[in-house]
A and B are shown apart, each in its own frame.
Chain A
């Protein structure tokens, strides 16, 4: 690679081909177009180069070259983006890590799996099944969804147990300058991380350090600080027995105390709440049946997986069931093992707890072809009022409120809830501009009512950071230190 500045497309392609091989550099319009958008319905923007990388050294090579030549680099690990976070704002290189598929080590004693950026939930669960282990899954991720980006984006997992809330253990990454870094217990050497438990006194369990908690700083930055190529994440032992139960509710308000109490009493593993529409989108046999099915399902339902674990599973499930019945008596609600409108709903959902969405059309998109969202995080007690605001506003915009979806994911035994409001829409429909206007307006209204928008997705960064005072100045200073040339994903989170 020459040291002279590369400014022509040809010279850049040559330089990149020198790092990754010409077969992994793409500039044809069809490929570029594919990477210019995602499912967020955010405006597409074109990249100039797609570079597929397979190794850490290739990542370093590409970023060093790009940094020296002030060319943007946008990392992408999943096949499909969801929130506009991987759409290039200022052209440049899309660094496609989705081909990095190694799962070089599983540690059942310390309960982690080491995987590369392109490994999906389906792939890792297949590997873990061989060891009797299970990955901490989010709710029905896309088939091509990278585990590492899910963790980096702090996507909540279905298991509400406090110790499972942050699956991140240690990682290797490349800063925007092209320099290498490792976090936590992985930082004690440069050797391949899969060799470390045998050759060093590090089991890759300590996540902090070196010095400060880089692992946390890297989350939620949408690839603007560094590019992670390999990481180990927490996993858990597959239970010998488990059992899903449902608690149906007419009004969301009535679900609040039962859900708090179930979690406060630490009952079960996976637990979440869906409204009828989202339940139908997941359980309907045919996409066309969703609306009708939603009407037959409870308005809201807590889905709870009672967990027998590895020792005397029947005993464990028995005491959990007894506790659930007490709670139902206390709050005058009911618990059942099934849903009358769907055969074997519990069995179906059981299988979904540790698998990606299997259908060709993603579940959120099944009703109308696409789905845009509102995503925030608050204490559960705040959520009913925010839902009411949201649905009322939807009515004002002429939307059919029965079509709106809701997913509440309690975290850390319901210390907080990750909340998604879903707006199914037709991506080609005449109404799309109205739906998008509604989404923006709803976001603004909810933020003004105290919804905490912890992830600046879509076009929300301006709205969020305008309300964030010196916090944003701090983030900018950090960016200038970690990626002084603003090489990585420029324009995202306003950086």
Chain B
């Protein structure tokens, strides 16, 4: 479909000729394909229909505002973009079916860290600042940021306004916790500011999030997801920084995949904790192991220590620790990590004495529970190797993880399930997903997924154990049928959560899921549809997100959520 000439002309007037294009070759590179399973399925359904008609590169909030006003005037769809890693949670032929032009707003020119306030522990960023830059700059001033395993390369702003699961969620929480003040150009073109910056006279100060009056982070974010571009474009945010004991530059040695990173032991210490001897066999003892890991996490919560605490399932251990595809497949076959481990990191935020104290407490807790620490001196030589391989990369939980590792096993990746609630509840969901998916596999479904897909379970407690998030992950190959199987697994987990009244169901409402689940959730979809109608009169801000303005008819809903 050709893009409106007058709209294109107007966009040129706003951003200059060099910053807007309809060139099909350039636009194709913005088509919403990634190596995610939904991207793969979408591509098979839409082909070049996934190509936007136009891409525009604004330099400022004012230009974004003009672009969005033009979208209203000339009735085209706009998609706010971060770095384009993941644009949707469901296959989305809806946009293509609307028959309107689609413009991607690429924030590449809005790439500045505007301010770092080390005393008040926040950083103000534009949309194209990635996590690597945030972490590097934060560490220079004795701070650190929340660290998304999605990668160093992604937009920190995009992540924080829309999702956010972190390697150090123990101290940082979820994405919605990182969001302090924010500025967003709403779908109407109006500018909304929340926090200090909302108040004329206090706008230099980006320190705080809520008010004046109601906390508008609630309007803009959810626990798992924000509006996914369905409520305008965020142009600046301030994000939380956390105390960091140093070093101020991340220590690394080696090149490429051989790169390693080790902290001085008077700053940061890592622990890799194994289950008691009588529950080693996996998967027979999976439930006992995970419950043990929960008990350990609750004890660490009671002790109020550490900066990283998590249980990494077998699948996460090895996708992270393996350095190459070859090493991965070899190790997976040999069962290099036979089960999951609990990983704990402590930091000398108060002092070196604090590190010694925390080590003493951790050791006493683990000992009492019958667990052991792996180390370079573990009696079993294999354990030594397991420890050494993990320690090469464990700093990545602080540095900013590298999601490419997650895609490495099969060049494609999908979530098996996800949940946010207590440490115990998210563990229920890991067990549900693993058990159900293994059973389905016995019946032939998902036989094409890599075997490691069936050993999931990232227990990632948040806010020092007051809550938790978990995911399990699946590895199909980049073929639509295989990818579709992964998506079906996710949907069946979701159904299980609904039937069993799991907290996980409450946090997956987005897109068509609002219509699917809303009636079971106090008709919340009707309110969100009202929001969409009131704030996005023409339904042009990345539809169908956060939801469609009108209730979707059942047959249409079936079509929209059909996997393949």
CA distance A471 to B518 in the complex (A): 28
Min CB distance B524 to A, Å, is 5
Contacts of A189 in B (CB 8 A): 501
If A185-B503, A208-B224, A208-B507 touch, whether A319 touches B350 (CB-CB below 8 Å) is yes
CB–CB A210/B503 < 8 A: no
B522 touches A181 (CB 8 A): yes
Q: Mark out the residues of chain A between 403 and 449 whose CB falls within 8 Å of any chain B CB in the assembled complex.
A: 412-416, 447-449
Cβ–Cβ contact A266 & B199, under 8 A: no
Q: In the complex, what residues of A have CB within 8 A of residue B298's CB?
A: 109
Whether B497 contacts A201 by the Cβ 8 Å rule is: yes
Interface residue B399 (Cβ < 8 Å from any Cβ of A): no
Distance (Å) between the CB of B546 and the closest chain A CB? Answer: 7
- Which of A265, A380, A481 lies in contact with B351, CB distance below 8 A? A265
B240 at interface by CB-CB < 8 Å: yes
B304 touching A212, Cβ below 8 Å:
no
8 Å CB contacts to B: which residues of A145-203?
Answer: 154, 161-163, 179-182, 184-185, 187-189, 196, 199-203
B201 close to A110 (CB less than 8 A): no
CB–CB A467/B201 < 8 A:
yes
Among A185, A211, A454: residue with most chain B CB under 10 A: A211
The answer to whether A319 and B364 touch (CB under 8 A), given A163-B464, A220-B215, is no
Quick one: closest A residue to B467, CB to CB?
A205
A237 with B302: CB separation less than 8 A: yes
Contact of B218 among A217, A311, A322, A454 (CB under 8 A): A217
Contact yes or no, B207 A450, CB < 8 A: no
Give A380 to B117 CA distance when docked, in angstroms. 12
Chain B interface extent, by class:
35 or more
Tell me the chain B residues, 506-536 only, with Cβ under 8 Å from chain A.
506-507, 509-510, 514, 517-518, 521-525, 527-528, 530-531, 534-535
A208 adjacent to B222 (CB under 8 Å): yes
Q: How far is the CA of A217 from the CA of B212 in the complex (A)?
A: 12
Does A341 count as interface, using CB distance less than 8 angstroms?
no
CB contacts (< 8 Å) of B546 on chain A: these are: 211-212
Q: Is the Cβ of B506 less than 8 Å from the Cβ of A451?
A: no
Is B198 a contact of A205 with CB atoms below 8 Å? no
CA gap between A111 and B424 in the complex, in Å = 13
Is residue A378 within 8 Å, beta carbon to beta carbon, of the partner chain? yes
Is A218 located at the chain interface by the 8 A CB criterion? yes
- B357 close to A265 (CB less than 8 A): no
Contact assessment for B351 and A319 in the assembled complex, using a CB-CB cutoff below 8 Å: yes
Q: Which of B101-109, B186-194, B321-329 contacts A (4 or more CB under 8 A)?
A: B186-194
**A414, chain B: closest CB distance, angstroms:** 8
Tell me which of A196, A237, A415, A473 has the highest count of chain B C-beta atoms within 10 A of its own C-beta. A415
* CB-contacts of B473-517 with A (<8 A): 497, 500-507, 509-510, 514, 517
**A316 within 8 Å of B by Cβ?**
yes
Q: Is B554 an interface residue (CB 8 A)?
A: no
Residues in B with CB closer than 8 Å to A318 are 353
Structural contact, B205 and A184, CB atoms closer than 8 A: no
Closest to B513 in A: A211
A205 touches B466 (CB 8 A): yes
What is the interface of chain B mostly: helix, strand, loop, or mixed? mixed
The one of A210, A379, A413 in contact with B243, judged by C-beta atoms closer than 8 angstroms, is A413
Whether, in the assembled complex, B68 has its beta carbon less than 8 Å from a beta carbon of chain A, the answer is: no
A245 to chain B, nearest CB (A): 15
B507 and A415 contact, CB distance less than 8 A: no
**CB of A315 within 8 Å of the partner chain:** yes
From residue B242, how far is it (CB to closest CB) to chain A in Å? 8
A475 engages B214 (CB within 8 Å): yes
Which listed residue, A377, A413, A456, A480, touches B208 by the CB 8 Å rule? A377
User: Which 3 pairs, one residue from A and one from B, show the smallest C-beta to C-beta distance?
Assistant: A208-B223, A217-B218, A216-B218
Interface contact B222-A219, CB-CB below 8 Å: no
A258 proximal to B (CB < 8 A): no
CB distance A379 to B219 under 8 Å?
Answer: no
Partner of A456, one of B212, B364, B528: B212
Min Cβ gap B344→A in Å is: 14
Residue of B nearest to A474 (CB): B192
Minimal beta-carbon separation of B143 from chain A (angstroms): 9
Evaluate contact between A379 and B207: CB separation under 8 angstroms.
yes
Verify if A207 is at the interface (C-beta below 8 Å from B). yes
Docked complex Cα distance between A205 and B224 (Å): 14
A212: chain B residues within 8 A (beta carbon): 218-222, 226-227, 528, 546
CA of A470 to CA of B423, assembled, Å: 40
Shortest CB distance A464–B (Å): 5
In the complex, A221→B218 CA distance in Å?
Answer: 12
Closest Cβ–Cβ distance, residue B5 to chain A (whole Å): 32
Contact with B along A260-284 (1 / 0, CB 8 A): 1000111100000000000000000
A208 touches B420 (CB 8 A): yes
Residue of B nearest to A447 (CB): B201
B537–chain A nearest beta-carbon distance, Å = 12
Residue B425 at the chain A interface, CB threshold 8 Å: yes
Beta-carbon nearest neighbor of A460 in chain B: B212
Q: A322 to B215, Cβ gap below 8 A?
A: no
Q: A266-B243, A379-B205, A481-B531 are in contact. List 8 more A-B contacts (CB 8 A).
A: A205-B468, A206-B420, A207-B223, A207-B467, A309-B303, A382-B205, A414-B121, A452-B202
Contact B351 A209 (CB under 8 A): no
- Whether A311 contacts B364 by the Cβ 8 Å rule is yes
**A48 CB, nearest partner CB in chain B, Å:** 26
- Enumerate B174-231 residues with CB–CB distance to A below 8 Å: 174, 176, 186, 190-196, 198-202, 204-205, 207-208, 210-224, 226-227
| B350 x A266 contact (CB < 8 A) | yes
In whole angstroms, how far apart are the Cα atoms of A78 and B524 in the complex?
A: 29
Residues A219 and B210 in contact, CB atoms below 8 Å apart: yes
Given known A265-B351, A312-B361, contact A234–B224 (CB-CB < 8 A): no
Given that A209-B224, A209-B509, A452-B202 are known contacts, is A234 also in contact with B304, CB under 8 Å in the complex?
Answer: no
Residues of B within 8 A of A218 (CB): 214, 218
Would you give the 0/1 interface string for B351-393, flagging 1 where the beta carbon is closer than 8 Å to chain A?
A: 1011011001100110000000000000000000000000000
B349 within 8 A of A: yes
Given contacts A201-B429, A452-B199, A481-B527, is CB(A381)–CB(B120) below 8 Å? yes
| Closest chain B residue to A234, Cβ basis | B466
Residues of chain A within 8 A (CB-CB) of B64 are none
**Contact indicator A468/B198 (Cβ below 8 Å):** yes
Across-interface contacts of A464 in B (CB, < 8 A) = 199, 212-213
User: CA A309 – CA B119 in complex, angstroms?
Assistant: 27
16 contacts between A and B (CB under 8 A): A109-B298, A202-B425, A202-B502, A205-B422, A209-B222, A210-B517, A213-B217, A264-B142, A266-B349, A312-B364, A323-B351, A413-B121, A453-B199, A455-B211, A471-B198, A474-B192
Residue B173 at the chain A interface, CB threshold 8 Å? yes
- Known interface pairs A201-B425, A260-B119; A452-B196 also in contact (CB < 8 Å): yes
Which residues does chain A contribute within 8 Å of B302, judged by CB atoms? Answer: 237, 310
CB of A251 within 8 A of chain B? Answer: no
Q: Answer yes or no: A333 CB below 8 A from chain B CBs.
A: no
Could you tell me if B506 and A185 are in contact, using CB atoms closer than 8 angstroms?
A: yes
Q: Is the CB of A216 within 8 A of B224?
A: no
Determine whether the beta carbon of B201 is less than 8 Å from that of A415. Answer: no
Q: Which single residue of chain B is at the shortest CB-CB distance from A196?
A: B501
Query: Is the CB of B237 closer than 8 A to any CB of chain A?
Result: no
User: A206 near B198 (CB under 8 angstroms)?
Assistant: no
- A-side contacts of B204, CB under 8 Å: 450
B210, B365, B466: the one within 8 Å of A110 (CB)? B466
Asked whether any CB of chain B lies closer than 8 Å to the CB of A482, the reply is: yes
> Which residue in B350, B504, B525 is a CB contact (below 8 Å) of A267?
B350
CB distance from A390 to the nearest CB of B (A): 16
**Contact between chains at B218 and A416 (CB < 8 Å):** no
Is A365's beta carbon under 8 Å from chain B?
no
Contact at A205–B304, with CB atoms within 8 Å? no
Distance, CA A216 to CA B213, complexed state (A): 11
In the complex, which residues of chain B have a beta carbon less than 8 angstroms from the beta carbon of A320? 350
CB < 8 Å: which of B216, B349, B364, B530 contacts A265? Answer: B349
CA distance A206 to B464 in the complex (A): 14
Chain B hits for A316, CB < 8 A: 357
Residue of chain A at shortest CB distance from B425: A203
The yes or no answer to A225 lying at the interface (CB within 8 A) is yes
